[in-house]
Amino acid sequence: MTEQPDETTGAEAEPAQEPTAEAQPGALQKADLGKRIPAALIDGILAFVVGFIPFIGGIVAAAYWLLRDGLEIDFMDQRSIGKKVMKLRPVTLDGSPMDIMASVKRNWMFALGGVAQLLIYTIVGIILAIPLIFIAFLLGILELILVITDDEGRRMGDKIANTMVIEVDD
């Protein structure tokens, strides 16, 4: 690419920056469904079981869903336990590391189940938990459909957070 002089200063213009992965669809390889589904099941079972610890279980389950991909804990390595076991990693499309905010953006819909588990300990909570569980179930189905049908395997949470899940060696 030839550099053109800047008309206002007469200096040569800066060369164009390399496009980011976001500007190059398909630059990252999506993870295999045969790994993503078991990873999601592992995380779901963990959160479900923890959710039944009286009073604090729902909070812990919701927190796990929200923060799981951004926690800087050695054994998790900024990914959920299910992703760690299945050798998957959520990554941002611009190459920046996953952080807590990216994790919250990509996983908020899954935390609804943990909130519902917390609510079931009161009569009013049961009334509120039923529609919340239904909404969480519908969002989960939508997310699964998007993972299957999207060319890059990106679900709604990935699109909100500008992330995707890839396979890794560790």
Counting the structural domains of the chain, the total is: 1
- Tell whether 48 is covered by a domain: yes
- Tell whether 1 is covered by a domain: no
Name the most confidently modeled range: 22-36, 67-81, 115-129.
67-81
Mean per-residue pLDDT, 42-58: 87
Residue numbers of the domain that contains 46: 27-167
Euclidean distance between CA atoms 2 and 134, whole angstroms:
58
pLDDT of residue 118: 67
pLDDT at 41 over 90: yes
Where does the pLDDT of residue 156 fall: very low under 50, low under 70, confident under 90, or very high at 90 and above? very high
- Tell whether 18 is covered by a domain: no
- Tell whether 81 is covered by a domain: yes
- Tell whether 17 is covered by a domain: no
Euclidean distance between CA atoms 15 and 103, whole angstroms:
34
DSSP string, 48-91: HHHHTSTTTHHHHHHHHHHHTTT---TTTSSS-HHHHHTTEEEE
Phi, psi (5° rounding) for residue 158? -65, -40
